[in-house]
């Protein structure tokens, strides 16, 4: 059973074709890297997969279940998690609260208007554990606005992982990070259990190359090359796309 | 809650209970009752404005519906229990309608739609003379006597209002500290992210609206018993604006803010109308001044001030009231 | 039969007045993304200013149309001042701007009460147009037809301004995409002042023109503002044609409603708005604010 199957996915904005007949199949436990120059339509593809955009044509399936018409929040409940290119977290809240919100999103507790959130010790313990996994438990009470960019990126990943997803979509997790910070994130990603499927967008190939099992190269919304690392790197079309046509 | 803050709350509650016995003039006891019932109204509105990030300019419509239902049923011979229960149910139904229509939008559009809805209710109250007696209003002859306690005099009514007020504050406090309350704040700050995290943003807002409507209805019922009269004036845009002023002057997004704001507006209104004929001008001027110079409101401003006096760093930035609602 | 005919003419007249009021409102909402809650106040101020001019200021008694124009100018200046001194300080904070307009509307209402008293002031129909026009067995007040004509003239003038002038092009650009407009070099903040003043002036002019029909009274602002709101919700923001069509529709509903179902008239007025909200919320505001 494939984890994610995208078939003939297309999307246009006005006259502009941003996603053109994309076919993509990611197996369970696979680490897939999606690369392509700026404007290739990578984030748009993610938005189509998560449901923030609805496609003009084609389908998206999660573990063989058609989710093309499913609202975003329901996809999350089916085990899909995602990080964003631009960090849109809860700046005024502590990072522990941020992670707690992620945990709460899948819990039936989120509808409860009677109990005190602060007293939910199990939830708090889970949040601390998630922070420990990314090495930020010492900053648990720190408001997000007072953390560094690198720390925020890690919080974002922690939030995505806190929901114990089956499929994680990472949108440029290394963007804007220093060399040390990149190492931290690399360690994080390598520590993700093998059963979890990861699809990652990266603009900078070198950084993520060795994390990937298979690579898909997108350009102008179309799949140009797909294959193992070696295949894609060797392919002449990859060079063309990156060095201009 | 720390034991210190519980202690403070108890002290304040005791002070509030003792109030009518310490003060001699009935006039001031009545002002106190007014402050309490408007504080409930402001708390209700604040659930939307401060915690959901949705500014409603039509809440006086919901306030008024509850009041009118009570007045109408009483004047057609029904008992207090029937009147109050029907008012609550009717008001909640109207709130559901308001919510269903206005939650199709956020931000500025939400304001426009709630404004229009409030105007519809006002227009009905004003023009549907056979039902509401129009501008002449409906008088309420008696007050209820729960468990045999007559509420006819100012002091007893104050105590009854105080009890309802304390219950309302407790309810609001519980809600705000609950997981649903935290989720609501999340939808205020990052609705798109909340959606992606698995929350049903529309439904969360809807239930917040209903809770807001419940508190508003309670305030409306207290109001009609307090003034023993209801007229369209209580539903006008000015009434919605006053409620909003209470929320933003005290500080939206806090529990204490609307209470302080209600006290401020009621006191200024009563004091001002003794000296100045034009309360509306003052209302407008205060509105403009607060929005321009102190958008976060009094309570966060004062909190910030005290914190910066006692601590040098690590303070959390208070949420500006006129914080842009995200579409 | 004559009753219905007269009702129709009154509806179109009222629609014309509403258009003059709402066109400015629509432009302001479209360009500045805020519902200007002082718009009713501008309408009322224009009427009050006009009555003062009519009865003589500085020793001069102005003719009706001159009074209307001068009143409109006065209101436009006030609008420009409000925009520059208050709204511009809060640039980018739409919610704060809306609340400021709300506050100012209350201030203006009381100032008018102080200045002109609590009694309604009737405005005399301009002498040239006080008569009637006879068509078959029906008799129509000349003034009402004149108002329709004026509204049409203004509609065409506004349309020409928007479609054919540079200012109009800048306004349309600003309505479509303010960010892009700035990038292209359009002085958006100046444009805001101009459009706000224009909207205010139009509202003030409409107030005076409407004087012989509605008279002027405290509360006129609160009566007119919701109408502008409904017209714009129906017709769309920044949308002149929408305002025109919406105004006519509301004019009809208002007048026929008053005549046939006075108790529910106000409610019926908002029904189309409610329907639009339920059936086509994306169609609201041309998808710009929502």
Decide if B280 and C285 are in contact by the 8 Å CB cutoff: no
Q: How much of chain B, in percent, has pLDDT values that exceed 70? A: 92
Q: How much of chain A, in percent, has pLDDT values that exceed 90? A: 53
Q: Does A19 touch chain B (CB under 8 A)?
A: no
Decide if B120 and C35 are in contact by the 8 Å CB cutoff: no
What is residue A82's predicted lDDT score, i.e. its pLDDT?
Answer: 93
Q: Round to whole Å and give the CA distance between A96 and A162.
A: 11
Between residues 146 and 175 of chain B, which touch chain A (CB distance below 8 Å)? 174-175
What mean pLDDT comes out for the span B243-266?
90
Rounded to 5 degrees, φ, ψ at A168 are -115, 130
Residue B246 predicted with pLDDT over 90: yes
Q: Given B177, B179, B211, which is nearest A109 (Cβ)?
A: B179
C vs B contact (3+ beta-carbon pairs below 8 A): yes
Residue B323 predicted with pLDDT over 50: no
CA distances from A17 to A8, A57, A240, C124 (A): 13, 12, 21, 62
Q: Round to whole Å and give the CA distance between A75 and C66.
A: 65
Provide the ipTM.
0.90
Cβ neighbours of B122 in C, within 8 Å: 266
Q: Round to whole Å and give the CA distance between A20 and A12.
A: 8
Secondary structure (H, E, C), A1-52: CEEEEEEEEEEEECCEEEEEEEEEEEECCCEEEEECCCCCCHHHHHHHHHCC
What mean pLDDT comes out for the span A49-63?
92
Q: Round to whole Å and give the CA distance between C52 and C35.
A: 29
What mean pLDDT comes out for the span B12-28?
78
Q: Round to whole Å and give the CA distance between A80 and A43.
A: 16
Decide if A113 and B189 are in contact by the 8 Å CB cutoff: no
Residue B127 predicted with pLDDT over 70: yes
Decide if A76 and B175 are in contact by the 8 Å CB cutoff: no
What mean pLDDT comes out for the span B259-268?
91
- Tokens 């018409």 -> residue: A69
| Band of residue B318 on the pLDDT scale cut at 50, 70, 90 | very low
* Average confidence score pLDDT of chain A: 89
CA distances from C127 to C46, C123, C143, C207 (A): 20, 11, 10, 18
What is residue C127's predicted lDDT score, i.e. its pLDDT?
Answer: 82
What mean pLDDT comes out for the span B285-292?
88
Return the number of CB contacts < 8 Å for B and C.
142
What is residue B227's predicted lDDT score, i.e. its pLDDT?
Answer: 93
Give residue B60's Cα distance to chain centre: 9
What is residue C280's predicted lDDT score, i.e. its pLDDT?
Answer: 67
Decide if B198 and A52 are in contact by the 8 Å CB cutoff: no
* Average confidence score pLDDT of chain B: 87
Question: Among B218, B203, B300, which Cα is nearest to B260's?
Answer: B300
Give residue B23's Cα distance to chain centre: 26
Q: Does B198 touch chain A (CB under 8 A)?
A: yes
Q: Average pLDDT per run of 10 along chain C, which is 290 residues long?
A: 83 93 88 90 95 82 88 95 92 85 94 91 85 78 89 91 88 80 82 93 94 91 89 76 87 88 80 75 43
What is residue C21's predicted lDDT score, i.e. its pLDDT?
Answer: 93
Gap from A77 CA to chain B (nearest CA, Å)? 6
Residue A63 predicted with pLDDT over 70: yes
Tokens of B224: 């009609």
Decide if B322 and C93 are in contact by the 8 Å CB cutoff: yes
Q: Does B82 touch chain A (CB under 8 A)?
A: no
Q: Which of B170, B172, B193, B205 to mutate to test the interface with A (most CBs of A within 10 A)?
A: B193
Per-position b or e across C171-210, b if 16+ CB within 10 A of its CB: bbbbbeebeebeeeebebeebbbbbbbbbbbbbbbbbbbb
Q: Round to whole Å and give the CA distance between A148 and A94.
A: 13
Q: Which of B179, B182, B203, B206 to mutate to test the interface with A (most CBs of A within 10 A)?
A: B179
Highest-confidence range of A90-99, A185-194, B308-317, by mean pLDDT? A90-99
Q: Does A22 touch chain B (CB under 8 A)?
A: no
Residue B321 predicted with pLDDT over 80: no
Cβ neighbours of B109 in C, within 8 Å: 284-285, 289-290
Q: Does B58 touch chain C (CB under 8 A)?
A: no
What is residue B75's predicted lDDT score, i.e. its pLDDT?
Answer: 92
| Band of residue B317 on the pLDDT scale cut at 50, 70, 90 | very low
Neighboring chains of C (3 or more beta-carbon pairs < 8 A) = B
């Amino acid at each position: 059973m494939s984890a994610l199957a995208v078939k003939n996915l297309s999307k246009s904005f006005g006259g502009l074709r941003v996603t053109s007949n994309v076919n993509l199949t990611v197996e369970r436990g696979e680490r897939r890297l999606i690369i392509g120059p700026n404007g290739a339509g990578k984030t748009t593809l993610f938005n189509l997969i998560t449901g923030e955009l609805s496609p003009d044509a084609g389908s998206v399936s999660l573990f063989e279940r058609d989710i093309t018409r499913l609202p975003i929040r329901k996809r999350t409940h089916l085990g899909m998690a995602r990080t964003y290119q631009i960090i849109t977290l809860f700046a005024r809240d502590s990072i522990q609260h941020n992670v707690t919100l992620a945990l709460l999103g899948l819990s039936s507790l989120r509808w409860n208007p009677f109990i005190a959130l602060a007293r939910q010790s199990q939830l708090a313990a889970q949040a601390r554990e998630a922070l420990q996994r990314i090495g930020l438990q010492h900053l648990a009470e720190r408001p997000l606005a007072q953390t560094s960019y690198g720390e925020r990126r890690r919080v974002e990943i922690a939030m995505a992982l806190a929901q114990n997803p089956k499929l994680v979509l990472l949108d440029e997790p290394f963007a804007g990070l220093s060399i040390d910070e990149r190492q931290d994130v690399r360690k994080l990603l390598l520590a993700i259990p093998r059963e979890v499927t990861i699809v990652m967008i990266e603009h900078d190939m070198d950084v993520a190359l060795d994390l990937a099992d298979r690579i898909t190269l997108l350009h102008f919304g179309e799949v140009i090359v797909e294959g193992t690392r070696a295949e894609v790197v060797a392919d002449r079309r990859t060079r063309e796309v990156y060095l201009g046509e | 809650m720390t034991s210190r803050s519980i202690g403070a709350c108890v002290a304040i509650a005791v002070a509030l209970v003792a109030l009518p016995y310490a003060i001699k003039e009935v006039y001031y006891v009545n002002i106190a009752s007014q402050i309490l019932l408007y504080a409930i109204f402001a708390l209700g509105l604040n659930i939307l404005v401060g915690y959901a990030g949705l500014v409603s300019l039509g809440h006086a419509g919901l306030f008024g519906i509850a009041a009118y239902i009570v007045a109408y049923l009483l004047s057609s011979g029904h008992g207090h229990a029937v009147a109050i229960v029907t008012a609550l149910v009717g008001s909640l139904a109207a709130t559901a309608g308001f919510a269903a229509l206005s939650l199709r939008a956020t931000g500025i559009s939400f304001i426009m739609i709630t404004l229009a809805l409030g105007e519809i209710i006002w227009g009905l109250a004003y023009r549907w003379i056979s039902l509401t007696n129009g501008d002449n209003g409906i008088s309420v002859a008696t007050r209820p006597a729960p468990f045999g306690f007559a509420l006819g005099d100012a002091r007893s009514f104050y105590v009854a209002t105080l009890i309802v007020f304390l219950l309302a504050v407790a309810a609001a406090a519980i809600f705000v500290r609950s997981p649903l309350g935290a989720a609501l704040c999340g939808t205020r700050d990052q609705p798109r992210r909340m959606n992606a995290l698995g929350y049903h943003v529309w439904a969360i807002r809807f239930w917040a609206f209903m809770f807001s409507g419940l508190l508003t209805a309670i305030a409306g019922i207290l109001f009609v018993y307090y003034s023993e009269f209801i007229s369209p004036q209580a539903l006008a845009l000015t009434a919605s604006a006053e409620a909003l002023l209470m929320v933003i002057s005290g500080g939206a997004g806090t529990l204490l803010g609307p209470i302080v704001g209600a006290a401020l507006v009621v006191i200024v209104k009563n004091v001002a109308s003794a000296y100045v004929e034009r309360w509306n001008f003052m209302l407008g001027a205060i509105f403009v001044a607060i929005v321009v110079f102190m958008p976060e409101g009094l309570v966060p401003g004062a909190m910030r001030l005290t914190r910066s006096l006692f601590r040098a760093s690590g303070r959390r930035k208070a949420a500006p009231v006129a914080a842009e609602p995200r579409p | 039969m004559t009753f219905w005919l007269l009702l129709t003419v009154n509806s179109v007249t009222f629609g014309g007045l509403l258009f003059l009021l709402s066109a400015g409102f629509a432009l302001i909402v479209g360009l500045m993304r805020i519902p200007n809650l002082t718009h009713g106040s501008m309408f009322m101020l224009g009427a009050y200013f006009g009555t003062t001019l009519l009865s003589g200021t500085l020793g001069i008694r102005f003719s009706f149309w001159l009074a209307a124009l001068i009143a409109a100018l006065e209101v436009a200046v006030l609008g420009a001042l409000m925009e520059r001194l208050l709204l511009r300080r809060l640039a980018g904070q739409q919610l704060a701007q809306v609340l400021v307009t709300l506050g100012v509307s209350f201030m203006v209402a009381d100032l008018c009460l102080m200045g002109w008293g609590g009694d309604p002031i009737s405005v005399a129909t301009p002498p040239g147009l006080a008569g009637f026009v006879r068509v078959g067995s029906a008799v129509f007040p000349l003034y009402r037809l004149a108002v329709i004509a004026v509204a049409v003239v203004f509609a065409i003038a506004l349309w020409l301004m928007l479609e054919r002038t540079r200012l109009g092009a800048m306004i349309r650009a600003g309505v479509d995409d303010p960010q892009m407009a700035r990038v292209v070099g359009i002085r958006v903040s100046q444009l805001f002042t101009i459009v706000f003043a224009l909207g205010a002036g139009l509202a003030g002019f409409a107030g005076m023109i409407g004087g012989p029909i509605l008279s002027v009274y405290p509360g006129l602002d609160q009566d007119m503002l919701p109408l502008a709101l409904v017209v714009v919700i129906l017709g769309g923001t920044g949308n002149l044609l929408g305002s025109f069509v919406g105004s006519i529709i509301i004019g009809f509903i208002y007048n026929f409603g008053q005549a046939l179902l006075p108790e529910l008239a106000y409610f019926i007025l908002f029904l189309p708005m409610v329907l639009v909200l339920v059936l086509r919320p994306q169609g609201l505001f041309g998808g710009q604010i929502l």
